[in-house]
Amino acid sequence: MPTTVLLSTGKKLLVKNVAWGRDFGDEYDHVTANVSPSEKSFPIDVFMTSEVMSLQDPVSGKELEL
């Protein structure tokens, strides 16, 4: 189920799937969104978990718990 991710940069992403990891020495995970399986209506994005301000249901706009 797609989720709207609001980042601290003000960017809103529509996310259907994620892959994540943490590079050696990093405090937070990096997330690659919509990479597998890829779909044209869900562009691939990369962000850090420290940037996530909120998660929302894309239909109702209701905020989901982190």
DSSP three-state, residue 3: strand
**Strand partners for 19:** 32
Residue 66 pLDDT > 70, yes or no? no
pLDDT tens for 9-60 read 999 999 999 999 999 999 999 999 999 988 888 999 999 999 999 999 999 9
DSSP three-state, residue 45: strand
DSSP three-state, residue 51: helix
Give a three-class secondary structure readout of 12-35: EEEECCEEEECCCCCCCCEEEECC
The pTM (predicted TM-score) of the whole model is 0.89
Domain boundaries, the chain: 3-55
Average pLDDT for 59-66: 90
Predicted pLDDT at 39: 87
